[in-house]
Chains A and B, each alone.
Chain A
Amino acid sequence: MRKKSGEIRRSILPTTMLWVLAILMAFPLLWFLLSSFKGGGELFTYPLSFLPREWTIDGYARAWERIDFVRYFGNTIVVAAITTALTVFFCATAGYALAKYRAPWLSVFALCILSMTMLPGEVILSPTFSVVRDLGFYNSLIGVILPSILTPTGVFMFRQFFITVPDELLDAARIDGANELSIFFRIMLPLARPIMLTLAIISFQWRWNDYIFPLIILSDPKNFTLQIALRSLLGSENIDWAILLAASVISMIPLVLLYLVFQKYITSSDINTGLRD
């Protein structure tokens, strides 16, 4: 009994610190979310109140009318899902090659990928635009998908993982006469399932929220992704905040749902190797 109360006392300080930080981190989001349920008039009348005095979904209704969400969700899902699938596949194959084979060109290859982390493609905008245009993908979703498939982060995540897989496993399969590619697809890839899932979630988030490439590559509003569509609400001098708040909240819903389902794969996995894109 005594011991327990002492334990509680000692956990007061760390717990308080944890929750002060949690409130600080959550407050901007919470304030934003609650504001989106306030009426257009209440948004700007002092004194502000934390909870809406009158809950309304008027902003949401108007945002839904103003922005063709079905189309933009569709475009964004297509881009994010296809890119993610290709990212996971190509990063897994290249990461495996880097981890389990030795050749001078592979070291050069690894160095090239490493330099991609340091020299981000976003910086060379105009030439990338020219390349996409010359390939004939200007103003198409393929033009957004192709340049963002390759992420050095993903390659390194898989490389790091496959290094931890014992070589004996590979040798045993080779002695059994298994073909190199089928070793990869039948044995190695299934082993890497947790990494595949983690990279898939991270990559989906990146592509869902991508801004700069869709911005330069897509010109026709019917091809826009969600983020580019949101930007159109910011363009004018007088922002219609009721619409903007609601539209922003709507744009986040799919990712939040995805995160709540898969959160243990992101927050608990050791993505120590996961360099940021």
Chain B
Amino acid sequence: MTSTMRSVVAPKAEDAPTVAGAVTPPRRRGRAKRRYRLTPLLLSAGVIVLMALFFIWPGVLGLTYSFTSYKGFGPMNFVGLDNYTKLAGDPTFYAALGRTLIYTVFSVPLGYALSLSLAVALTNVRARGKTAARIIFFLPWLVSPIVTGVIWRWMFGENFGFVNYVITALGGGAVPWSSDPNLSLMVVIVASSWAGAAFNMLLFIAALNNVPKSYYEAAQLDGANGWQRFVSITLPGIAPTSVLVILLSTLGQMKEFAMIQALNNGGPGTSNQLIVQYIYQTGFAQSNVGYASAASMVLLVILMVIALIQIAINRKATR
């Protein structure tokens, strides 16, 4: 009942800025002004409706749920900040959040290094076979998160995987890739870097092509070697793209769900349960919608803080 009411309220709130826009002082001639005012509204109408329905409404609803003991059906009982105080003392929540942070802290730099290496290798004028290599580099992008998980689970199987086969063939002992929590997380990190490399590579290629060639020529005349040129010309030259890639992959890794579900299902046990899986488990498997929504709100705040910090860094860097 309450939710249907909110459905009426949310789009209205969304329309408010449009109404405000309509009473702004006229620009030039009266007739043109009216025409130009209506057209952008018509053109954006679809997106505004979709945004109100599937972004603002769920957002407001989630915030409301987080103050209730809602179970997904029946009445919503207002419980104040109970969910948040319970969350603050919930070791499972901290474990999931901590694991997600560890995962992000390792997978973002690895993914960054991998995608930048691919882009550098592809933009080198002297390298041969670039067209074929570009197609190969891009293939992992086509693979769904579920299949990515399956592929790496297959590579790192404890008793049947290729990696352990090579290790034992070289005289080592089988490595417990799936029964050791940390090793298991490592496989997830490698898999995510592999899967995400192609897209970031495209961003880097565009950035690398925009670094003025004359800088490199000048540096070469001054006797700078390849590594020095990379560090003092390439890296500063692509700094804005680096910030973008790091921001996007941080946000992406924080919400990792599908791939890890297929790879180790948050295991062994629940040791690698990441935050979105935790929210999914509490919200859907245990029907603790109110509690899960509180966890969602905490995650949203964390994501927002990450985004704002990186935007601030970017502002500073580009100034």
Residues of A bordering B, CB below 8 Å: 7, 10-11, 14-15, 17-19, 21-22, 25-26, 28-29, 31-32, 35, 43-44, 46-48, 89-91, 93-94, 96-98, 100-101, 103-106, 108-109, 112-113, 116-131, 134-135, 146-147, 149-150, 155, 180-181, 184, 205, 208-209, 211-212, 216, 227, 230-231, 234, 241, 244-245, 248, 251-252, 255-256, 259-260, 263, 266-267, 270-272, 274-276
Contacts and interface: CB of A to CB of B under 8 A. Distances in A.
Nearest to B258: A211
Given A18-B130, A126-B289, A227-B146, A31 B258 contact: no
Interface residues on B, range: 35 or more
B55 interface: yes
A47 to B, nearest CB: 7
A117 B299 CA distance: 14
A264 B136 CA distance: 13
A32 B151 contact: yes
Contacts of A29: 139-140, 143, 151
Interface in B101-140: 117-118, 121-122, 124, 126-130, 132-140
Contacts of B279: 123, 125-126
13 contacts: A14-B121, A17-B127, A22-B137, A32-B150, A93-B46, A112-B51, A123-B296, A131-B3, A211-B145, A231-B262, A248-B151, A252-B142, A259-B138
Interface string B37-59: 10111111011101101111111
A105 B7 contact: no
A123 B303 contact: yes
Contacts of A44: 159-160
Given A125-B283, A127-B58, A276-B248, A211 B50 contact: no
Interface in B2-25: 3-4, 7, 17-18, 20-21, 24
Contact of B144 (A21, A103, A128, A209): A209
Contacts of B132: 22
B162 A248 contact: no
Given A109-B17, A119-B300, A205 B206 contact: no
**Which of A19, A43, A216 neighbours the largest number of chain B CB atoms within 10 Å of its CB?**
A19
Contacts of B197: 25
A125 B127 CA distance: 46
Shortest beta-carbon contacts, A-B, top 10: A105-B21, A209-B144, A211-B258, A127-B58, A101-B40, A127-B62, A127-B61, A97-B40, A94-B47, A14-B127
B27 to A, nearest CB: 8
A18 B129 contact: yes
A267 B304 contact: no
B39 A180 contact: yes
B17 A134 contact: no
Interface of B: 3-4, 7, 17-18, 20-21, 24, 35-37, 39-44, 46-48, 50-51, 53-59, 61-62, 65, 72, 117-118, 121-122, 124, 126-130, 132-147, 150-152, 154-155, 159-160, 162, 165, 168-169, 194, 197, 199, 202-203, 206-207, 241, 244, 248, 251-252, 255, 257-258, 261-262, 265, 276, 279-280, 283-284, 289, 292-293, 296, 299-300, 303-304, 307
Contact of A120 (B124, B128, B255, B280): B255
A14 B140 CA distance: 22
A89 B50 CA distance: 13
A123 B39 contact: no
Nearest to B152: A28
Contacts of A43: 160
Given A28-B194, A126-B292, A245-B154, A21 B117 contact: yes
B204 to A, nearest CB: 10
Contact of A94 (B36, B46, B202, B280): B46
Contacts of A230: 144, 146-147, 150
B36, B37, B126, B144: most-surrounded residue (chain A CB, <10 A): B144
Contact of B162 (A31, A209, A244): A31
